[in-house]
Structures are given as C-alpha cells and as structure tokens.
Amino acid sequence: MGSVYRARDLHFPNVVKLVAVKEMINTAPDPLIRQTIVQNFEREANLLATLSHPSIPRIYDYFSEENRSYLVLEYIHGKDLEAIISEYNGFLTEEQVLTWGIELCDVLSFLHKHKPDPIIFRDMKPSNVMIDHNGDVKLVDFGIAKTFQTGQKGTMIGTEGYSPPEQYRGEATPLADMYALGATLHHALSRRDPRMEPPFSFEERPLQKINPSVSTELNTVITTALQYNPEDRFQTADDMKDSMLAAARKTGILSKVTTTIGQADGIKPLWTFKCEDEIRSTPLYYQNTLFVGCYDNNLYAINAGDGEFQWKYPTEGGIVSKPVAYEDNIYFGSEDHRLHVVGARSGKVVWTYYTDGPVRSSVRIAEGHAFIGSDDQYLHAVNVNSGRAAWKFETADPIRSTPYVANELVYIGNEAGDFLTIDFRGELKWRFRAKRGITSSPTINKQMVVFSSLDGTLYALDHRNGFVIWRFRLGKGSVSSPSVVDNIVFVGAADGFIYAIEAGTAKELWRFRTEHQVSSSPVIYKDSLYCGSVDGYLYCLEYRTGRLRWKFGTEGQIIGSPLVYDDIVYVGSTDHKVYALLA
Amino acid sequence: MDFFRKLFGGEEEVPKEIETATTAPLTEEQIQSILQGPNVQFDLQQLMAASGQSVGKLRELNEDSLLTLTTTLAGNSGSLPFGLYIVADGMGGHQYGEVASNAAVRIVAGYIMRKFQPYLFGLKPSPPDESLQEIMQTAVREAQKTIQSEAPSSGTTLTAALVLGQQVTIAHVGDSRAYHIYDDGRAEVVTRDHSLVKRLEELGHISEKEAENYPHRNVLYRALGQGEILEADVFTVTFPQAGYLMLCSDGLWGVVADQDMFRIIKEAPSLQRACQNLVQAANSAGGPDNISVIIAQLIG
C-alpha cells in the first residue's frame, strides 16, 4: 500500500541531492483505522530520527497531506536483496552472502544495544535489506514496531517464513531478529523463498543439499541462528558475527566444486534382444513372454527370462503402439491400418480389423470390446468375439492417444486438441478443447481425468462433465502419458523434464532434468519411477523426491515407455534393441 | 453379457422410479428413498444447504461472516448442482475483523459469480476459461488486495467451497475448517489450520493433548489481509456421499467435539435444524467466540 519515489531536494538548487520519498496512502474508510495508520507512520519517523548508523538510512523529514503521509529519507543507490536473489542466475557466492551477513550482524547489534530500550527490528527479510552501489547493506522499513494483543485472534506481525516461532506468540526479542537473519541468509544461499514453505521448516530444506557449495562452517552458523528454541540460538548479534568471521577464515571462502549426481555406470542388462529396426513402442509382459512391436513391421515374442526369440508376426507397417493381452490373444495396431489379433502362444492370426488410416493408438479392452483410435480420425469400438465394429465415432482429426475406459465412458484425445468422452453407445457425452493436439493417453484419478497436450499444459478435468479443475504449465508440449500414484501425477515433456505434481492442488513436488525430450511415459514400481528420454537414457528416480537412483544409456533414443514386471525393467530403444534390466 | 447388451444393444432400459426424474426439487419421499437406499441412482442430483450463526456468549461483536448460495436450475437443458459456501472469521477485537471478514466473503463470492455468470445464466452455457482452482486463487487475491486497502493491518480467515457437480474446490486461509462428515460417523477435516498451535503439533513440539490447552491457540501464521504474499491452500475433493460437507469457524470446532457434531447433525430432522442445534451446542459450552456453520448435502 505504499510507494517509494526517487525525488530531488530543491532546498539545494545548485546541486542534485536525491532523496527517497516513501508515500503511504491511507485508503481506509473508517476514521479509527486511518488514525492507527497515521500513528504507525509517525512512529517509524520518530524512531528513525534517533538512529545514526551507516547501515540505517537517514531521515530528513516527514509530513501528511490529506490521506497521504510521506517520509523523506536518504536515497540509496542500489537494489534490495530479494531482487538480487531472484535476478541472479544460480547461487550467490558464499563469500558475498557472508560479507552481507556480517554487516547485518553489525547493524542488528547496534539496534539491540540501543538505550534506553533495545530496538527489535522484527522484520528482517531480503526485501528489507538494500545493497547499495558500494555493495554495503542498508536496513530499510522500520514501519512495524508494534505491540501484540494476547487473547484476541492474533494478528501476526513480521513476515511469514522469516519470523521465529515466538514472534507468532507476540514475543519479539533480539533473538527473534537472529532467527530472521538466519532465514534471510538461508533464502539467499538456497534461493528457496521461505514464504512459500510452511513456517519453521528450514530443517526440511538442508542448505547443503540444495546448494552443495555452502561450507559446513557457514551451514552451522545458519542452522544455529534458525534453532527453534531461542536459547539454542546465538545470544547476541556479536556472537553470530564472530562465528561468521570464523567461518570465513576457516574456509578461506573458497567455493567448492559442485558435486554432480551419482551415476551408477556399469549396470549390465540381464539380456538384450536385437530387432531389425527402431523400437518406438512399449513392451507387454504376458505369461513369461515379452511382446514388443517394432518399426521393422514385426511383433516379436521374446522369452522374458532369457531374451530368447520365440516367434514374430509380420504386419505391413511399423508398430508404435503397446500390445494388449486379452483371453490369450494379443491385440495391437499397426501403421498398415489394421488392428491385429494374434494368439499369444502360437503367434497365429485370430482376426484383423481394418481402419482407413495408420493405427498408432493402443487398444483398450473393456466390456467385450476393443477400443482403438486411428489416423482415419475415428474411434473404433470392435467386438472382440466377432472382430466387427460395434460403432465408430468420428472426431475430425487423427487419434493417436490410447482410449481410457471407466464409468461406462470412453475418454480419448485427438491431434486437433479435442478431448472427447463417448458413452458405450457411441454418443458424445462431453467435449473439451485444448489449444493443440492431445497425443498423450488420459488416465483417471478419483474424479479427475488427467492428460497432457502439445500446448504445454497438463490438464485435470472433472471426469463427469469436463470442467477444468486445474491446469499445470509444462515447459513445452508433451506427448507423454501421465501416471498417477499416491495422488501424485507424473509426466514428461519436450522441455526434457519429468514432473511430479500433487493431484489435489496442482503443486509441483519436484522436476527432474534429462538431456532431451521426454516422450516416454513414467512408470511407478515400488518406490521408484522409471522413464526414458530421447537423450538415450532410461532413468530410475526415487518417485517421492525425484532423486536419481541410476540411469542406463542405450545407443539410440528412448521414445516408448518402460515396463516393469517382477523386479525387471524392459525397455526398447531406437538402437533396435530391447533391454531387460534389474529394477 | 446382459449388461453389455443393454449398453450396446440400443435398447434403452427404463429406470424403475421413472417419476423421480420429473420433479425438481425432489419430493420428501424421494429424498428419503435415496437416503435409505444407497444404491439408488438418480439422474438428477440435488444440492441442499443451511447455515447458522451466533455472536456467542462472551463477545460483543460478531466478526464472522458467512455466505451460502445454492442454485437449482431445473429444465430440459440439464445442469450441474452449483453451490458456493463461505465462512470468514475476522481477527482481533479492535482491528476491524468484521470489516475484513465481510469484505472477504463479498469479494470472493462476487468474483466467482461473475466468472460463472455465462455458465449459469447464459443462453448458450459456456464454462469459464480458467480452471476452477485458478478462479478460486484469483478470487482470494482480489479479496487480499481489497482488505489491505480498506482495512490495513486487519485480517480474516477464509474457507470457501465451490461445489460443481460432485467436485468441491476449496480455497482456504486461516483456521476456519471444512469437514467431510460421513453417515458412518467419520468426521474428516479436509482443510489444514494455519495456526501456530497446529504447526507446532505438526512439528512434534507439542502433543495433541498439549495443543488443546495451548495458551496461544488463536494465533495464525497465515490470514487474508496479512503479509505481502498470500498463498491460499486451493484443492479439489469429492463431495462426501453419503454424508455432509460442513464449513465452520473455530467458535464451533473449538468447543464442540467431532463426535458430538456428528450426533447433532444425524439426530436433527433437517439441515436447518442441524445448524441451529450446532450453534446451540457451542453456546451451551460457553460460547467463547463467534459461531458460524454451514452444512451442505448432495443427494442423488
């Protein structure tokens, strides 16, 4: 509710003397509220007038005009620390932060030793710290000196995230300022804004984990300042300053080399199997056999235990979809326009079904019917016994997404960005339109249907009516199908990240960077996430934290998704090979 | 294959209680039959709500504000149950809490209703462009701005529930609460109190028992009108069926135990009476604070 102006003091017409004019507009309609505001303003002015310290701006004057009040202050050439943190690319150096921390201890020490009563700053945070053109700190905004009322629903004074526990109870002592300084330095070194986190949660964000270049010495200083119990913190600003000086001397303020994530090289596949062309599809495990479609037009059946070839079934087009097993038959689409059904053991054709375009969507079988999309723009519902169409639904653009069936409805996206819900009679229930194509396959979690789009958005819609419950911005478009486990949505995107998003709130839990697009769909098995990337690696991450467990390099791109069964991960690569790895 | 033939055979199965689809709102008998038979499905869903409020016995001023808005839009076009329920509890005695809570309710509801105007009242109903969660988040931000200019340094809690079909999207700041109360007696708090005492409990610094007698029970670390960055908790849950969605200020949940709330709701002949009896229970227990309660029920 206030602005700060850069102004020129015209009492000195022959020189340019700049001042800062802090304006407070009093918009409160209630006269009593207005009066309180003016009183607060005057209190700040009077307090500042009595203080003289290089890190505290000087005050020249104050006045009120109708509903506006003004403070005339020393002009500081510089920027506030919050802006510096957010604009700086990467982490500020330890040396820099230590220097500012030591100066801030100096000014806090000055305030705390003020006579007759110590002054508690109460609102130490990056946006109240200015760094001037010499690189020195100035503490600004002394506006919240105020007493607390107990017994009433407490107004909280200070800034959430930086304030210590006791300040919420209305106790403000010098030790509260020490905590807030610790929080400020933690923010500066970690780039994690504590206002976005629950209060008193610094322990959950260990500094050295986020920014490994922070020395153990400085980390100890900040941890001490952030102790929950005031008696466990530094008891004076001078104590904290001494510890920081010691930390600076000990480390020689040499920033350490950032440690890179641990790589588990030397992972040996249990077996590999080589096809004659690229594998862009996802394998299927069924009765100790791995079924995988290949760009060489064949569906391969491989012994899942040892990778021995069992049979192959030739089609007349590339196979990019995931096969599905149903009643001892394997269902899969091919770019030869057909849905093929072959016996799981024999590899002999049972029936085929023709569409009018390449089939890149995978089959979903429910209620005795196979649902599949085609580039012919139709969603087909095919009776599994007769191999004949029960109905076709036209969508006006190719369908590469795999249908999802639940609640007696079929959910499907198409390349135009339409998301459609069709009932078992082949009638449209509701429709939603994304800005670009929906190649990813939807999944349903509780009451929401989740899918990603090439428009760079992950959508969660009400599965009954298509109302958008939330949207999450991905860095780029996505063809990766989300999976949901533990109320967390996992999805990859063309920006190279694998994302983990909380399903109820659409809040990002973590993201993991790979070196190229992620078209593969993440798979969760036990407490790990498995996902491929176009950079050629299969990644295994801890799914709750996004921490890398291991990665395995192939000689091509991984476009399809991995399959995990019985502690073994199977994945295909454009290097023509299928790999079996220990999960 | 019976089921499947039904769906693909093109022969429409006629629901047994055909007369039920012809009335809106549902008749008392229909409501009773639904409530008794958990498996009876109706095409029409009906949302009902009631509220209660009291200044309490110790306070002179009512700083709570509440709003209920339930629409019934019956006709051939088909529409979803739509409801908006808000409880706001203003902070502090002389810090203009009533100004803040009143502003919060009006601004939030006004913003949401403007967004849903075309959907509810347009001739060609169109859903809003933003997601439900985005709308709630922006509504709270608008209220934050207004409170900071109308009554700076004051603050209020806010718990707002937007019901659309079976989804409940909640925006929440402070220590008013939303509950799911199920017919089997489970009472589940779906919001998280932004209070010091709750946070200390979460961190394990105090036990649940100690929390009950903690001297600073009423201190919040997050409130509408306070702080420069305000992040409301916004999330979507499924409407509790069979059961109730309840919103209330700490004047109720702070003094009436969960199992008593359930019993009172269950025993009351109507939602309205349930609200009145809950308020009465809080007053009988001393009525130390303002009391606000809203109960909503989705039938069908």
Which of B8, B169, B216 lies nearest to residue A154, judging by beta carbons? B216
Considering only CB atoms, which chain B residues are within 8 Å of A368?
Answer: 1, 4
- Section A291-298 average pLDDT: 94
To 10 degrees, the CA torsion angle through A179, A185, A189, A191? Answer: 80
- To the nearest whole angstrom, how far is the Cα of A268 from the nearest Cα of chain B? 43
DSSP string covering B11-67: PPPPPS-GGGGG-SSPPHHHHHHHHH-TT---SS-EEEEEEEEE--SS-SS--EEEE
Confidence of residue B221 (pLDDT cuts 50, 70, 90): confident
Q: How far is CA A164 from CA A231, A341, B97, in A?
A: 12, 66, 25
Q: Nearest-CA distance from B269 to chain A in Å?
A: 31
**A14-49: string of b/e by CB count within 10 Å (b at 16+)?**
eeeeebbbbebebbbeeeebeebbeebbeebbeebe
Range of the domain at A198: 80-147+154-251
Q: What is the pTM of this model?
A: 0.74
Q: Which residue in A541, A552, A559, A540 sits closest to A579, CA to CA?
A: A552
A138 and A42 housed in the same domain: no
A453 DSSP β-pair partners = none
Closest among A471, A459, A505, A508 to B235, alpha carbons compared: A505
| Structural domains of chain B, ranges and CATH numbers in brackets | 43-299 (3.60.40.10)
Neighbours of A347 (CB within 10 A): 16
- What residue in A sits closest to B231 (Cα-Cα)? A196
Pair A40, A177 in one domain: no
Query: Is A95 within the bounds of a domain?
Result: yes
Cross-strand bridge partners of residue A80? A130
Decide: A571 and A578 in contact? Cβ < 8 Å: yes
pLDDT band at A47 (very low <50, low <70, confident <90, very high): confident
Contact yes or no for A379/A388 (Cβ under 8 A): no
- Cα A68 to its chain centre, rounded Å, is 42
A37 shares contact with chain B (CB less than 8 Å): yes
Q: Determine the 3-state secondary structure of A394 from DSSP.
A: strand
Residue A116 lies in a domain: yes
| Residue labelled with tokens 């005031």 | A230
Q: What does the pLDDT read at residue A267?
A: 78
> Cα–Cα distance between A162 and A193 in angstroms, integer?
9
Contacts 24+ apart (CB under 8 A), A87-93: A91/A189, A91/A190, A91/A191, A91/A211, A91/A213, A92/A188, A92/A189, A93/A213, A93/A253, A93/A255
- Do A215 and A159 sit in the same domain of this protein? yes
Stretch among A38-52, A136-150, B145-159, B216-230 having the lowest mean pLDDT: A136-150
Question: Taking CB atoms and an 8 Å cutoff, what residues of chain A touch B132?
Answer: 467-470
CA distances from A12 to A19, A62, A87, A394 (A): 12, 18, 36, 79
Q: Which two tokens stand for residue A30?
A: 């209630």
Are A231 and A177 members of one domain? yes
Window from A554-563, B125-134, B168-177, B194-203 with minimum mean pLDDT: B194-203
Do A468 and B164 make contact, defined as CB atoms within 8 angstroms? no
Distance of CA B262 to the CA centre of its chain: 16
Domain match, A67 and A181 both = no
Kindly provide the b/e burial profile for residues A205-239, where b requires at least 16 CB atoms within 10 angstroms of the residue's own CB.
eebbeebebbbebbbebbbbbbbbebeebbebbeb
Inside any domain, residue A458? no
Is residue B221 within 8 A of residue A169, CB to CB? The reply is no
Check whether A390 has a pLDDT greater than 80.
yes
What are the residue ranges of helices labelled H in A169-323?
174-190, 207-210, 216-225, 237-251
Question: Can you list the alpha helix ranges (DSSP code H) found in A80-150?
Answer: 81-87, 94-112
HSE (side-chain half, CA atoms, 13 Å) at A347: 17
Angle formed by the axes of helices A94-112 and A174-190, to 10°?
170
Tell whether B178 is within 8 A of chain A (Cβ): no
Q: Tokens 């209305």 identify what position?
A: A170
Cα(B101)–Cα(B175) distance, rounded to whole angstroms? 13
Q: Which of A446, A458, A448, A453 is nearest to A421 (CA)?
A: A448
- Residue B59, pLDDT > 90, answer no
Residue range B133-159: average pLDDT? 91
The Cα A224–Cα A171 span in angstroms is: 19
Q: Which of A17, A50, A74 is the last residue of a domain?
A: A74
Q: Are residues A50 and A121 in the same domain?
A: no
- C-alpha distances out from residue B276 to A88, B54, B77, B284, Å: 57, 9, 36, 12
Rounded to the nearest angstrom, the gap between the alpha carbon of residue A482 and the centroid of all alpha carbons in its chain is: 15
Using CB atoms within 10 Å of the CB of residue B284, give its burial: 0 to 12 exposed, 13 to 18 middle, 19+ buried: exposed
Helices A216-225 and A237-251: angle between axes, nearest 10 degrees: 170
For residue A60 the two structure tokens come to 């020249």
- Taking the C-alpha atoms of residue A81 and residue A84, their distance in angstroms, rounded to an integer, is 5
**Residue A84's domain is classified under what CATH number?**
1.10.510.10
- Tokens 């990056």, residue? A126
Best interface-test mutation with A: which of B79, B131, B226 has the largest number of A CBs within 10 A? B131
User: Does residue A380 belong to any structural domain of this protein?
Assistant: no
- Which 3 state secondary structure label does DSSP give B6? helix
Q: Which chain B residues contact residue A160 at CB under 8 A?
A: 221-222, 226-227, 229
Q: Per-residue DSSP letters for B176-219?
A: -EEEEEETTS-EEE-S---BHHHHHHHTTSS-HHHHHT-TTTTB
Partner-chain contact A368 B1, CB within 8 Å: yes
In a domain, A205, yes or no: yes
Q: Is B153 left (phi over 0), alpha (psi -120 to 50) or beta?
A: left
Same domain, A141 and A57: no
Q: In this structure, what token pair is assigned to residue A514?
A: 């790979």
Q: Which residue in chain A is spatially nearest to B91 when comparing CA positions?
A: A153
* pLDDT greater at residue A258 or residue A205: A205
A571 within 8 A of A532, measured Cβ to Cβ: yes
Inter-chain touch A504–B97, beta carbons under 8 Å:
no
Q: Would you call A147 an interface residue with chain B, using a CB distance cutoff of 8 Å?
A: no
Is A21 found in the same domain as A7? yes
Q: List the CATH number of the domain containing A65.
A: 3.30.200.20
- Residue A90 sits in the same domain as residue A67: no
The answer to whether residue A353 scores a pLDDT higher than 80 is: yes
Report pLDDT digits (tens) over B169-178.
Answer: 999 999 999 9
Do β-strands A563-565 and A428-433 pair in parallel, antiparallel, or remain unpaired? Answer: unpaired
In B218-247, the residues whose Cβ lies within 8 Å of chain A are: 218-223, 226-229, 231, 233-238
**Same domain, yes or no: A120 and A12:** no
To which residue do tokens 């989740």 refer? A450
Q: Out of A171-175, A295-299, A386-390, B257-261, pick the least confident.
A: A171-175
CA distance A48 to A140: 10
- Does residue A317 sit within a domain? no
Q: Which pLDDT does position A171 carry in this prediction?
A: 75
Q: How many domains does chain A have?
A: 2
Burial class (CB in 10 A: 0-12, 13-18, 19+), A270: middle
Residues A213 and A118 in one domain: yes
Co-location of A54 and A93 in the same domain? no
Nearest CA in chain A to B168: A469
Characterize A451-476 residue by residue with b for buried, 16 or more Cβ atoms within 10 angstroms of its Cβ, and e for exposed. bbbbbbbbbbbbbbbbbbbbbbebee
Listed residues A206, A229, A251: the one ending a domain = A251
B27 touches chain A (CB under 8 A): no
pLDDT band at B236 (very low <50, low <70, confident <90, very high): very high
Q: How confident is the model at residue A377 (pLDDT cuts 50, 70, 90)?
A: very high
At B108, the pLDDT band (50, 70, 90 cuts) reads very high
The answer to whether residue A413 sits within a structural domain is no
Query: For residue A268, how many other CB atoms are within 10 A of its CB?
Result: 8
pLDDT grade for B200, boundaries at 50, 70 and 90: confident
**B158 closest CA partner among B114, B202, B120, B191:** B191
Task: Retrieve residue B45's tokens.
Answer: 């869903």
Q: B34 falls in which pLDDT band (50, 70, 90)?
A: low
Residue A436: pLDDT band (50, 70, 90) is: very high
Q: Are strands A68-74 and A18-25 parallel, antiparallel or unpaired?
A: antiparallel
Is B205 part of the contact surface with chain A (CB cutoff 8 Å)?
Answer: yes
Q: In chain A, what residues touch B73 (CB-CB under 8 Å)?
A: none
Which chain A residues touch B144 with a CB distance below 8 Å? none
Which residues does B22 contact at the CB level (< 8 Å), separation at least 6? Answer: none
Q: In the beta sheet, which residues pair with residue A68?
A: A25, A65
DSSP state of A417: S
DSSP A232: G
Confidence (pLDDT) at B20: 47
Q: Are A536 and A573 in contact (CB under 8 A)?
A: yes
Is B170 in the A-facing interface, judged by CB distances under 8 Å? no
Residue B230, min C-alpha distance to chain A (Å): 9
| Mean pLDDT over the full length of chain A | 88
Report the half-sphere exposure of B276 (CA within 13 A, side-chain side).
Answer: 7
Q: How confident is the model at residue A156 (pLDDT cuts 50, 70, 90)?
A: low
Domain end marker among A229, A251, A273: A251
Per-residue pLDDT at A87: 86
Cβ neighbours of A488 in B, within 8 Å? none
Are the beta carbons of A355 and A376 closer than 8 angstroms? Answer: yes
The rounded distance, in Å, linking the Cα atoms of A378 and A267 is 44
For the segment A356-368, the average pLDDT, to the nearest whole number, is 93
Nearest CA-CA distance, residue A173 and chain B, Å: 18
Tell me how far apart the alpha carbons of residues A476 and A97 are, in angstroms, rounded to a whole number: 35
Please answer whether residues B80 and B164 qualify as being in contact, where contact means their C-beta atoms are separated by less than 8 angstroms: yes
Distances (CA, A) of B167 to A206, A358, A447, A463: 37, 38, 8, 10
